[in-house]
């Protein structure tokens, strides 16, 4: 057996990422897209709450909490945007396996949430468990929910239609109606609800998707993110590959370098710093094109017989005694989604396969700055990679070892996420003033997940009462947190960051090439 060697003589072994969740049938997680103020997450199996940063994945069993003044937005793979105000806690119980259909089940424990479905797939449904019952949204509905500490629920439908299921009845709610559900009282007829500040802000935050110039280049499942591609780069025609997208970045920029790896739900997941990085890190492939630079190739709508799959980070791993490195996978290059042996036990540390020449199998290993490197101790500690380097064609010659997954000794840490450098702000400039339930949350942990849909909410006779818009309020001033970036009017699957947000990290001139318009 021959070993891979770099100039200093360090031995290398080659591994392909093989996370447990990255099967084709696994549901795509929700994305924590934008936020400001103190935003916390509690992942399934974690010991406690940790500070959040943008582009975090959230899946079944995970919670997000905005304990004080602030706001956050989740984007579901179905295209739904879920916006949370201050003093709000939301849990995820289930996500659909396919972005173009199925049911997402959420839990609104306390506070206020706005759910916008204009960009959602026609077959997608969202169900939100509340204390008095369950709210089901039609695909294109726009609904505002508020849950007070005493369990009183306000449901305002701004567009489309929703249904409220209680132990007593199933009630339709149409656009312009606002209802209050309170146990122990008789129901009254709904009436038209006035538009308030939150409604107006959210309506301004959803530019028309049909008019976005990037939409024709993306598969339908990724169309809700079209605005991010239009705002941060340009499309090109690449010979033998079709249309590709080149981000506006500095010279020397490399995919999978600006960000961090984290262990989440049994996988090594890449959390990108780039505000547009969610889609390009988890779908499609990267390729270095001479005269243009790095370009991203959208995925096919289907992979074999399976629907487009979310990937925790498509890279080839290179491990040595004192460093860890990785290479972005190029078009057509194999990864664990194509390898049945990827289902091997997580305790396996070495899986021998035939020898390979890295520069022949992984085209991006030959690209300038194509290999990203991190000291081994820094990688395991969760620190960001130091940089990248450009090996010559023969640096990796000699063959190596593929593994179904990173060995246990090289797993990155779990989601104890550090605040992004330069991305932490105090206050809530540019964001709307959200109403908050009286008394706030008081630091209490979330309650247990509700029973499965159909098992029925707590007993009691709900009431439907005409209400006025909730008065804005705040529960804990001075909360520091994070703010993410987004161009005005371009918020991907949901809302752009408010005016005054930070711009793209490392933005600079586009690397050559000639743009293509639809």
The total of other beta-carbon atoms located within 10 Å of residue 466's CB is 14
pLDDT at residue 471, as a whole number: 31
Judge contact between 128 and 90, C-beta under 8 A.
Answer: no
- CA–centroid distance for 201 within its chain: 22
Question: For the chain, where do the domains classified as CATH 2.60.120.1440 start and end?
Answer: 30-205
Give the torsion sign (CA, 51, 55, 58, 63). Answer: positive
Judge contact between 24 and 310, C-beta under 8 A.
Answer: no
Q: Tell me the HSE value of 392 on the side-chain side, using a 13 A CA sphere.
A: 5
Helix H or strand E encompassing 232: helix 226-232
Judge contact between 180 and 464, C-beta under 8 A.
Answer: yes
Helix H or strand E encompassing 153: strand 153-159
pLDDT at residue 98, as a whole number: 75
pLDDT at residue 246, as a whole number: 97
How many angstroms separate the CA atoms of 210 and 213, rounded?
8
**pTM across the whole model:** 0.74
How many angstroms separate the CA atoms of 293 and 233, rounded?
12
How many angstroms separate the CA atoms of 105 and 441, rounded?
22
The total of other beta-carbon atoms located within 10 Å of residue 105's CB is 21
Q: Which CATH architecture has domain 30-205?
A: Sandwich (2.60)
Helices (H), 170-221: 197-204
Say which residues have a Cβ less than 8 Å from residue 155's Cβ, sequence separation at least 6: 135, 143, 144, 145, 162, 164, 173, 178, 179, 180, 181
Judge contact between 250 and 505, C-beta under 8 A.
Answer: no
Helices (H), 441-499: none
How many angstroms separate the CA atoms of 326 and 319, rounded?
8
pLDDT at residue 414, as a whole number: 87
Burial of 377 (0-12, 13-18, 19+ CB in 10 A): exposed
Helix H or strand E encompassing 360: helix 358-361
* pLDDT, tens digit, 9 for 90 and up, residues 431-444: 332 222 233 323 33
pLDDT at residue 370, as a whole number: 86
pLDDT at residue 218, as a whole number: 95
DSSP track, 365-386 = GGSTT-EEEEEHHHHHHTPPP-
How many angstroms separate the CA atoms of 433 and 201, rounded?
10
pLDDT at residue 402, as a whole number: 52
Low-confidence residues of the chain, pLDDT below 50? Answer: 1-25, 186-189, 192, 304-306, 337-360, 392-400, 417-518
* pLDDT, tens digit, 9 for 90 and up, residues 446-499: 333 333 333 332 233 233 332 222 333 333 222 233 444 333 333 334 333 332
Read off the tokens for 335: 């990864």
The total of other beta-carbon atoms located within 10 Å of residue 393's CB is 12
Closest to 256 measured CA to CA, from 337, 363, 371, 415: 371
């Amino acid at each position: 057996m021959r070993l891979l060697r770099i100039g200093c003589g360090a031995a290398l072994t080659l591994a392909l990422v093989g996370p447990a969740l990255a099967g084709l049938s696994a549901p795509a997680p929700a994305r924590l897209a934008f936020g400001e103020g103190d935003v916390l997450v509690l992942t399934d199996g974690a010991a406690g709450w940790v500070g959040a940063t943008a582009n975090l994945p959230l899946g079944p069993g995970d919670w997000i909490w905005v304990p004080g003044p602030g706001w956050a937005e989740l984007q579901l793979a179905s295209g739904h945007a879920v916006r949370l105000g201050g003093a709000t806690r939301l849990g995820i119980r289930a996500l659909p396996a396919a972005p173009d259909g199925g049911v997402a089940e959420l839990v609104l424990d306390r506070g206020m949430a706005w759910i916008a479905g204009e960009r959602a797939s026609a077959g997608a449904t969202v169900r939100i468990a509340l204390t008095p019952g369950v709210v089901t949204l039609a695909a294109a509905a726009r609904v505002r929910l508020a849950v007070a500490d005493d369990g009183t629920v306000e449901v305002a439908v701004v567009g489309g239609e929703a249904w409220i299921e209680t132990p007593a009845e199933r009630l339709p709610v149409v656009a312009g109606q606002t209802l209050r559900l309170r146990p122990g009282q008789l129901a009254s007829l709904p009436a038209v609800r006035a538009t308030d500040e939150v409604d107006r802000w959210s309506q301004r935050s959803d530019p028309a998707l049909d008019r976005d110039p990037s939409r024709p280049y993306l598969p339908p499942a990724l169309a809700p993110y079209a605005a991010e591609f239009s705002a941060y780069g340009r499309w090109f025609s690449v010979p033998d590959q079709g249309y590709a997208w080149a981000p506006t970045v500095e010279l020397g920029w490399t995919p999978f370098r600006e960000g961090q790896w984290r262990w989440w739900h049994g996988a090594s997941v890449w959390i990108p710093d780039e505000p547009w990085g969610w889609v390009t890190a988890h779908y499609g492939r990267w390729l270095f094109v001479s005269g243009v630079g790095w370009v991203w190739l959208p995925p096919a709508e289907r992979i074999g017989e399976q629907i487009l799959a979310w990937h925790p980070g498509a890279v080839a791993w290179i491990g040595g005694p004192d460093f860890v490195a990785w290479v972005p996978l190029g078009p057509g290059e194999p990864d664990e989604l194509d390898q049945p042996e990827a289902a091997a036990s997580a305790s396996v540390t070495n899986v021998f396969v035939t020898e390979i020449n890295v520069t022949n199998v992984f085209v991006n290993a030959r690209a300038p700055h194509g290999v990203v490197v991190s000291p081994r101790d820094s990688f395991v500690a969760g620190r960001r990679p130091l940089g990248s380097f450009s090996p010559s064609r023969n640096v990796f010659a000699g063959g190596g070892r593929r593994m179904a997954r990173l060995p246990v000794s090289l797993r990155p840490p779990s989601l104890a996420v550090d605040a992004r450098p330069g991305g932490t702000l105090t206050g809530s400039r540019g964001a709307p003033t959200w109403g908050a339930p009286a008394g706030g949350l008081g630091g209490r942990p979330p309650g247990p997940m509700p029973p499965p849909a159909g098992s029925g909410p707590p007993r009691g006779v709900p009431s439907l009462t005409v209400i006025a818009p909730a008065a804005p309020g705040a529960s804990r001033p001075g909360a520091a947190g994070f703010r993410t970036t987004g161009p005005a009017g371009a918020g991907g699957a949901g809302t752009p960051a408010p005016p005054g947000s930070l711009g793209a990290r490392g933005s600079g001139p586009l690397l050559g090439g000639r743009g293509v318009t639809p």
